[in-house]
Structure 1
Amino acid sequence: MKSKSSFPIWLKLCLFLVTWFVLLLVFEIISQSLLPQFSEKISPIYKLPVRTVNHLFQLVATLSSIWLFTKYIDKIPFISIGFYTKGKLKEFVSGFFLGAIIMAIAFFLLLSLNEIAFNSYWIHIKSILFSILFFTSVSVLEETLCRGYLLGQLVETSNKYVALVVSSIIFTALHSFNPNMATIPVLNLFLAGILLGITYIYTKNLWFPIALHFSWNFFQGPIFGFEVSGQKFYAVIQQTRFEDNLLNGGSFGFEGSLLATFLMLIVIFGIWRFYERKSISS
């Protein structure tokens, strides 16, 4: 649904980002004051719950910012940014399985090339549940922000491909302070933004990118044992890299590898081709 705002698009997006940062700060203060007992300084055992709880506060701040702007500035329903559910189950399931398949290909290909080694597996139900909650909040937050609102607004006023590139640059910038950042991770984060946004410019729906984002992260870290954007998480599969290089991604994880670059380019082209053909035939 088209925004009814009279604000110039760039001014509105700047005001939105300022509002978002302010609310993030407010909710961070609230989370730190309400949950001092979960401080990471007390015990490493609480690291995952703290990270999860803090991210849930960030999610609330993000959704609140978007709701304020959709209601009072754009004057459109919040759901219209991409949360319509009718007939979208297929898109959600497709996104979920696509992320799982990409990570399975990455793991077994690197295993066959002797880039990584399987050590053991460790199933810990509590950690799996925390991981599901954490990566659900990550995918909903980042997709609602970068695709649902920012890309959705940009598509209204500019070429859809320009809008996709700009939103992907913002998505990359939001990850710029992640550990072990380097040139290939920056490139791959940008391509991830393209991959997650390519369906949105055709469908204006968030269920595919949310499912893909969740599945990509969840299978990458908690299942197959890679770092996720430079960060370590609990993993079912315990693996070891023989050396850090551009094929396995090193300490940034699979997202820092040239293999990830290659796979994302293939999938991006495939999705683009599918929707272009679909638009021509219709």
Structure 2
Amino acid sequence: MIANKSIIETSKKSRDLNPVIITVILSLLVIIPQYGLGLILKISQNIEILDKFFTFIDTNNLFFLLIIYSTALALILAYIFARKALERNCLSLGLVDDDKIKKYGKGLLLGFGLVTLVVLILDLTEFAEIRKNLNGFNLKFFMVFLPAWMIQGFEEEFILRAILMNQMAARGKIELAIIANSIIFSIFHLGNADFSPMAFVNIFLIGIIFSLIFYINDSIYMPAAAHTFWNMTMANIYGITVSGNSSIPVTLFKTKLKGPDLISGGGFGLEGSIITSLILVILLIFLSRKIKNTKPAS
């Protein structure tokens, strides 16, 4: 694999800092908003308006919404770290793209399409049962989730691909940078409920796929959109848990996963299913061949 424009720019302009140190700092930046949210929860008990707000959130089972919105702070802190501490410019971060809207649209379709394909296969093989959520769907709450997932998807891709992957790629082999940041992506999920070896493999595979999409397009927008709508399609369209997190009541459908966890994914959701593995491997083969037959964007 040859360096694309953003990797070359990272190599030329960025501060050379050990990737291990960068990984630790970025991990702390991800954790800070969650601790901040916990602190606000404690303080809110003594402030009436905040207490009412969190009571409303708790009553409607929407606390997970606050967690994914809190990733906005992690995104801001990561951007400041990249620009100031690492001396990275927007080009090196994959933020410069004249076709960003078109690529975001492609990412949307990819994320939605992958999840839908897996759900339909499980439904047809009777390892899942899909039904309309006639009473639980609320369009207003549904639309509130959309920007939250957009922020969360962009935040994870920006941190892992735009910052970490390119920083590693600028120091050594691009292939190793892709593998390393994808392993870290899986490690970030180790503490999630119902985590399994298959879940680790699938999150690693989807990390590789997002990394290759970032590399091929030399742009963060398509992988960010794919990540966003991978999560939102599971959570708010099909009503499936995302990476073992609590289920969300605001869903278009309710999907009951059935049968062995190896096939259905169990409590971790689709990301724990071997069917997901097969679909991701097929896409990975396609992307690998595309890299061999075409030059990366410049």
Q: Normalized against structure 1, the TM-score is what?
A: 0.87
Instruction: Say whether 1:233 aligns with 2:248.
Output: yes
State how far apart, in whole Å, the 2-side matches of 1:203 and 1:101 are: 19
Secondary structure of 2:76's aligned partner: helix
State how far apart, in whole Å, the 2-side matches of 1:241 and 1:7 are: 47
Matches within 5 A, 1:98-117: 98-117=110-129
CA 1:156 to 1:130, structure 2 compared with 1: closer, same or farther past 3 Å?
same
Moved more, 98-107 or 154-163: 98-107
CA 1:46 to 1:79, structure 2 compared with 1: closer, same or farther past 3 Å?
farther
Task: State the identity as a percent.
Answer: 20
Give 1:269's aligned amino acid: I
State how far apart, in whole Å, the 1-side matches of 2:210 and 2:27 are: 24
Aligned position for 1:220: 234
User: Following TM superposition, by how much is the alpha carbon of 1:169 offset from its aligned partner in structure 2, in angstroms?
Assistant: 1.2
Instruction: Say whether 1:266 aligns with 2:277.
Output: no
Aligned position for 2:69: 56
Report the aligned-residue RMSD.
2.6
CA 1:6 to 1:212, structure 2 compared with 1: closer, same or farther past 3 Å?
closer
Moved more, 179-188 or 229-238: 229-238
CA 1:23 to 1:159, structure 2 compared with 1: closer, same or farther past 3 Å?
same
1:192 equivalent among 202, 206, 210: 206
Gaps of 5+ in 1: none
Moved more, 236-245 or 222-231: 236-245
Gaps of 5+ in 2: 1-8, 45-49
CA 1:45 to 1:25, structure 2 compared with 1: closer, same or farther past 3 Å?
closer
Matches within 5 A, 1:53-132: 53-71=66-84, 73-78=85-90, 80-122=92-134, 123-132=137-146
**Contact kept? 1:92, 1:211, Cα under 8 Å:** yes
CA 1:30 to 1:251, structure 2 compared with 1: closer, same or farther past 3 Å?
closer
Moved more, 14-23 or 92-101: 14-23
Secondary structure of 2:29's aligned partner: helix
CA 1:225 to 1:47, structure 2 compared with 1: closer, same or farther past 3 Å?
closer
**Contact kept? 2:258, 2:266, Cα under 8 Å:** no
State how far apart, in whole Å, the 1-side matches of 2:115 and 2:147 are: 19
Moved more, 250-259 or 53-62: 53-62
Aligned position for 1:2: 10
Counting matched residue pairs gives 278
User: Following TM superposition, by how much is the alpha carbon of 1:20 offset from its aligned partner in structure 2, in angstroms?
Assistant: 1.9
State how far apart, in whole Å, the 2-side matches of 1:29 and 1:204 are: 37
CA 1:29 to 1:65, structure 2 compared with 1: closer, same or farther past 3 Å?
farther
1:121-162 deviation per Cα after TM superposition (whole angstroms, max 9, x unaligned):
333112312321331122011111111111121111111110
User: Following TM superposition, by how much is the alpha carbon of 1:47 offset from its aligned partner in structure 2, in angstroms?
Assistant: 3.1
Give 2:22's aligned amino acid: L
CA 1:181 to 1:11, structure 2 compared with 1: closer, same or farther past 3 Å?
closer
Instruction: Say whether 1:178 aligns with 2:192.
Output: yes
Aligned position for 1:139: 153
1:211 equivalent among 216, 221, 225: 225
Aligned position for 2:176: 162
User: Following TM superposition, by how much is the alpha carbon of 1:25 offset from its aligned partner in structure 2, in angstroms?
Assistant: 6.2
1:20 equivalent among 14, 24, 29: 29
**Contact kept? 1:151, 1:164, Cα under 8 Å:** yes
Secondary structure of 1:199's aligned partner: helix
Secondary structure of 1:247's aligned partner: helix
Give 1:255's aligned amino acid: E
Secondary structure of 1:239's aligned partner: strand
CA 1:77 to 1:252, structure 2 compared with 1: closer, same or farther past 3 Å?
same
Aligned position for 1:246: 262
State how far apart, in whole Å, the 1-side matches of 2:28 and 2:240 are: 34
**Contact kept? 2:264, 2:270, Cα under 8 Å:** yes
State how far apart, in whole Å, the 2-side matches of 1:220 and 1:22 are: 24
Higher relative contact order (CA 8 A, sep 6+): 2
Q: Normalized against structure 2, the TM-score is what?
A: 0.83
